[in-house]
Chain A
């Protein structure tokens, strides 16, 4: 079945880069996403990558996709306190045109 896994916690120093990793099982995934959720808030789409790409950069965010290993990562350059949140990796499988499968989220905390 479809599954998305990511580590639960990451702590980085302010100004450093954060790298959040994710693995997924559905080899027919068409889109892979990174969502951000701040306390008490809904989900904010940060970025997404189509499965035929291996990299996408958007300002401080860099997404890397290794389709062979089914590994997705999100790099946040120059991490700021405002980046503190839970980051969800998600994939849209080819078997369903509708639903998105989410990981359990990685809580990113920033040290001064």
Chain B
């Protein structure tokens, strides 16, 4: 048990709907990451927060995607106007402050867009 939790674990939605996922990092981890993993592939980086500041965004993060971490603790990832290509596992990871090399991953939210 890494201690990172994600909610929901599974989400089925219809194309065009909006969805929001939540990630609760390990307590006092100031860095939080979102990755996307499609079937048969490794996770791909989406975005990264240090405390409440979003410091890096992948070009994979289209304008339909938005992530927030308003108080520097939990984070949300919203996808607007979902498309079938958004179907994937969305993984969250966290790292403590300092020069830690280890990212601790949550169990993921599996999204299916019909």
Contacts and interface: CB of A to CB of B under 8 A. Distances in A.
Interface in B93-113: 93, 101-108
Contacts of A41: 107
Question: From DSSP, what is the main secondary structure of chain A's interface residues?
Answer: strand
A99 B44 CA distance: 9
Contacts of B55: 98
Contacts, number: 55
A101 interface: yes
Question: From DSSP, what is the main secondary structure of chain B's interface residues?
Answer: loop
Interface residues of B, number: 24
Given A43-B91, A90-B42, A99 B33 contact: yes
Interface in B39-62: 40-45, 48, 55-56, 58
B40 A100 contact: no
B103 A100 contact: yes
A31 B101 CA distance: 7
A42 B56 contact: no
A101 B105 contact: no
Interface residues on A, range: 20 to 34
B89 to A, nearest CB: 9
Given A45-B104, A50-B101, 6 more contacts: A45-B102, A98-B33, A101-B45, A102-B42, A102-B43, A105-B40
Interface of B: 2, 4, 31, 33, 40-45, 48, 55-56, 58, 91, 93, 101-108
13 contacts: A30-B101, A42-B91, A42-B105, A43-B105, A98-B31, A98-B33, A99-B45, A99-B48, A99-B56, A100-B45, A100-B103, A103-B42, A105-B41
The 6 closest A-B pairs by CB, nearest first: A102-B42, A99-B45, A43-B105, A98-B48, A42-B107, A31-B101
